[in-house]
Amino acid sequence: MEEEGLKIGKIDRKILFELDMNARIPLTELARRVGLSPQNVKYRMGQLERKGVIRGYVTVFNTAKLGYLYYRLYIRYTGVSPSDEDAIIDYFKRHGNVVWFISTSGRWDLEVLFIARNFIHFDHMLKEAYERFPDKIHNNVTSVSVSNYHHGRGYLIGHRTAFSARYGGEPREIPLDGIDRKIIGIISQEARMSRAEIGTRIGMNYKTVQARIKRMEREGLIQAYRTWVDFMKIGSYYRKALVNLRKFTRDVGSTVLSFCEKDPNIIYLITCVWPWDVEIEIESTDEGKFLEIVRSFRETMGDLVMDYETLTVTAEHKLDYCPFISRASQ
């Protein structure tokens, strides 16, 4: 951990949990759930935002519904100076096809989640990065995602929760017009903005905005509204297990999913076609909790686990589920 976590009390953890499950929860409903007045909750949210615990409110889009696939690129630095690293980080943060981007310790230094129309499109972006930083990024591995499951941060309140969103699957393109794109560009990074304010920004009636958002929810393009929480500032550790299985049938996949749903510290599950079968992402305030969960997973799966490796997330640089649209709207 690069910095000490802030002292986050029980009430603030409840607020963070509810906002993580639904960043658009009305203030009055949030206040009722945590047992405070709306004014008090609003003040606490403001404090969490000012302290950087809450980094933003984001909309989870399934861009497979727009014809995109998900590719995770794992990068190892070679001969990178601090200024080189700053430039590399800035490059991927600004990239119009990067959804999520983290620094890690272990075998790799970076993990970059791209969305691309196909392998050719991804390869083009990969070559651009190599040409931009020659002899600086090496030992790269690409993980091709099939399904990505979001799990609520149940560990904040000591309870497990169901998966709150899923994206990935077979790509198919839902048609969007210019107004849809303007709405997506706003709510991508401002999920709590009111429909009326969105309407004012784009010159539309709020009922029209509401109807369009409801349609995108029904079609599965909009999956959820979540809060981007700085895990370090709440004193959490963030680690990943990359697991190879002897076989990965639908039944095995159901067992993996069931295991992950039962543990409040597992916040993401990714199923892959290459080079491993699953990626399990875990947050905890207890440094030893990660190894405990990995041991439990191995016991549950038995001899199906062939091999696994781990990495630690040291910084989270970007989170934007529809970057090519939100970037264009800026």
The pLDDT profile of the chain, 330 residues, written as one tens digit per residue, is 444 557 789 999 999 999 999 999 999 999 999 999 999 999 999 999 999 999 999 999 999 999 999 999 999 999 999 999 999 999 999 999 999 999 999 899 999 999 999 999 999 999 999 999 999 998 789 999 999 999 889 999 998 877 678 999 999 999 999 999 999 999 999 999 999 999 999 999 999 999 999 999 999 999 999 999 999 999 999 999 999 999 999 999 999 999 999 999 999 999 999 899 999 999 999 989 999 999 999 999 999 999 999 999 999 999 999 999 865 554
For residue 69, give the nearest of 101, 117, 113, 112 by alpha carbon.
117
Dist. CA 92–CA 85, nearest whole Å:
11
| One-letter identity of residue 193 | M
- pLDDT for res 327: 58
What is the structure's pLDDT at 4? 53
CA distances from 115 to 27, 122, 123, 128, 155 (A): 34, 8, 11, 15, 29
Task: Classify residue 174 by its DSSP letter.
Answer: P
For the chain, the straight-line distance linking the first and the last C-alpha, in angstroms and rounded, comes to: 33
Nearest to 282 by CA among 236, 243, 247: 236
The per-residue pLDDT for 329 is: 55
Alpha helices in the chain (DSSP H): 10-21, 27-34, 38-50, 82-94, 119-132, 178-187, 195-202, 206-218, 250-262, 289-301, 323-326
pLDDT value at residue 157: 94
**Closest to 143 measured CA to CA, from 104, 197, 178:** 104
Task: Give me the pLDDT at residue 326, please.
Answer: 66
Distance (Å, whole) CA 76 – CA 104 = 10
Burial of 62 (0-12, 13-18, 19+ CB in 10 A): buried
Chain-centroid distance of CA 218 in Å reads 21
What is the per-residue pLDDT for 328? 57
Say what the pLDDT of residue 3 is: 46
Give the other-Cβ count within 10 Å of 187's Cβ.
26
Torsional sign, CA 259, 143, 1, 298: positive
